[in-house]
Amino acid sequence: MTDSDLLKTLLGAIAEADSSTRMVEAVEKLSEARLAAAVPNLITVLGYNNPGAAVAAVEGLISIGKPAVKPLLELLDGYNYGARAWGLRALAGIGDPQALDLLLDAAANDFALSVRRAAARGLGTIHWDELEVELLAPAQARVIEVLLTVSQDHEWIVRYAAITGLQELAIASTIASPDLTRQILVHFDRLVDVDDNLAVIARIWLAQKEIQTYIAEILSEQPTLEPKISVDWQTTLEKLYARKRQEQPHPEGDPHKFLEVAAAIFKGE
pLDDT at residue 251 in the model:
43
**Residue scoring higher pLDDT (115 or 253):** 115
Band (216; pLDDT cuts 50, 70, 90): confident
pLDDT at 243: 54
What are the pLDDT digits (tens) for 135-172? 999 999 999 999 999 999 999 999 999 999 999 999 99
CB 31 within 8 A of CB 42: yes
Pair 90, 72: CB distance under 8 Å: yes
pLDDT, one tens digit per residue, over 23-68 is 999 999 999 999 999 999 999 999 998 999 999 999 999 999 999 9
Across the chain, mean pLDDT equals 86
Q: In terms of Cα–Cα distance, which of 116, 75, 124 is closest to 95?
A: 124
Residue 224 pLDDT = 61
| Sign of CA pseudo-dihedral 63, 66, 70, 76 | positive
The answer to whether the CB of 229 falls within 8 A of the CB of 181 is yes
DSSP secondary structure letters along 136-204: HHHHHHHHHHHHHHHTT-SSHHHHHHHHHHHHHHHHHHTTT-HHHHHHHHHHHHHHHHH---HHHHHHH
Residue 13's nearest CA partner among 4, 26, 1, 24 is 26
